Amino acid sequence: MDGLRGYAAIAVVVFHSILDRDPTQNQRIVRPPIQDAHGVYEVLSKLVFMIVSGETAVVLFFVLSGTVLFESLRRRHARALATAVGFSLRRLIRLYPTFFVSLLCCLGAFALTGALAVQKKHFLGNAALCDFSILGASWTLQVEFLAVPFILVGFWSFQRLGFAGIAVAYAVFATVLCAPWLSAHFVYYQRFLSCFALGMLVPTGLGRVIARLIPAQASPIVLAGMLASRHVMGLHWWSMDTEQVLAALLVALLYHGRAGCLGHALGHRVSQYLGRLSYSLYLFNIVFLILADHWTHQLVLIRAHPLESGVLLSVPILAAGIAVAHVSERYLERPSIDWARRMTQFSVQPLPHHTLGGVSA
């Protein structure tokens, strides 16, 4: 699953490298179904956007978070309050330091491009994950943090009602989020809450049964369906739901060892390395996207050929992003993880060694 996360992060970089060359592509090409594409160039662009879909990558991130965090809670055997505090604190320490440093780097990039005066006033709001003017990708972190109480409630409901408890928790949270005063402020959370619920179902008995019903050889078909669904059916609630369900099926196949050759490829050491860098790569690539956009926005040739120029620009952006992510993973992420683990020992009371859903606890 780490390998899947790594390639999803790369897809986000390529997606934005192309889209930033001509933002009008979002309304003209990305959102409409492929049937509405006009001409060979738009069809080719649509196919590339389908493969490196930023939205699909984000859906995968959230489904994977639901799976991994739910499994993490299954390994905790402290009282409810200690579990909630430890789990929330661990999540905050794991994510926030790397995010804050990347936010400072984005501010520095805007300073280099002469846009510091415009962006500076938004720094505190972005640091509080209420405004995303500086580091646009940080909206996903807002969703990750807001998902913490849902995952906790879903886990406790699961302990009492089984997988139906996760469905009940989702129904309650989704209903509350429909309130106008909440939906206006947490639109992303409302839209992607179901990803976490689906991800939490993956390690359960239901997830195991469904994964066993799908032939291992079908994993590439599930992957292709996930990538194509929204781009064939258009941007509708049913196409987004289909995309999320297929993403959960893919994660279930990987989690339960039913992904065949695709699972072996994602388990390769290169894939695993990219997976370890995925969080930092996802955040720090924005710095290089800001600089690339500033240095190329006046070049008519690049604006006239956003697909080719975007793909070409993604190569140095990825190279620089991976180099910085390597340093960040070693000197920011690992210390944050170790620090979080030490600080939250009170919330972990491990039982004798056993296996949970195929993953050794």
Beta strands in 8-99, from DSSP E residues, in sequence order: none
Tell me the two tokens of residue 29.
């090409």
Is a pLDDT exceeding 80 seen at residue 355?
Answer: no
∠246-260-198 over CA atoms, to 5°? 25
Q: Which of the four pLDDT bands, split at 50, 70 and 90, describes residue 119?
A: low
Cβ-Cβ contacts under 8 Å for 308 (sequence gap 6 or more): none
Check residue 159 and give its pLDDT. Answer: 92
User: How far apart, in whole angstroms, are the C-alpha atoms of residue 228 and residue 233?
Assistant: 8
- Concatenated DSSP letters of 261-326: HHHHHHTSHHHHHHHHHHHHHHHHHHHHHHHHHHHHTT-HHHHH-HHHHHHHHHHHHHHHHHHHHH
The string of pLDDT tens digits covering residues 83-117 is: 899 999 999 999 999 999 999 999 999 888 877 66
User: How far apart, in whole angstroms, are the C-alpha atoms of residue 80 and residue 345?
Assistant: 14
User: How far apart, in whole angstroms, are the C-alpha atoms of residue 252 and residue 165?
Assistant: 19
> Exposed e or buried b for every residue in 78-105, given b needs 16+ CB within 10 A?
beeebbbebbbebbebbbebbbebbbeb
Is a pLDDT exceeding 70 seen at residue 59?
Answer: yes
Tokens 């690339």 correspond to 292
User: How far apart, in whole angstroms, are the C-alpha atoms of residue 220 and residue 215?
Assistant: 11
Cβ-Cβ contacts under 8 Å for 338 (sequence gap 6 or more): none
The string of pLDDT tens digits covering residues 19-54 is: 999 999 999 999 999 998 889 999 999 999 999 999
Cβ atoms within 10 A of the Cβ of 122, count?
17
Check residue 353 and give its pLDDT. Answer: 44
Say what angle helices 187-201 and 139-161 make with each other, to 10 degrees.
Answer: 40
Residue 270: burial class (beta carbons within 10 Å; 0-12, 13-18, 19+):
exposed
Is a pLDDT exceeding 70 seen at residue 351?
Answer: no
The string of pLDDT tens digits covering residues 275-311 is: 999 999 999 999 999 999 988 888 888 888 999 999 9
Answer for the pair 196, 238: CB distance below 8 angstroms, yes or no: no
Average pLDDT rounded to a whole number, residues 145-174: 95
Residues β-bridged to residue 360: 355
What φ, ψ does residue 165 adopt, rounded to 5°?
A: -65, -35
Average pLDDT rounded to a whole number, residues 66-79: 86
C-alpha pair distances (Å), 86 with each of 13, 79, 324:
33, 11, 30
Is a pLDDT exceeding 60 seen at residue 360?
Answer: no
What φ, ψ does residue 360 adopt, rounded to 5°?
A: -65, 125
Tokens 């240095």 correspond to 295
Check residue 116 and give its pLDDT. Answer: 67
Cβ atoms within 10 A of the Cβ of 26, count?
11
Task: Work out the mean pLDDT of the chain and round it to a whole number.
Answer: 90
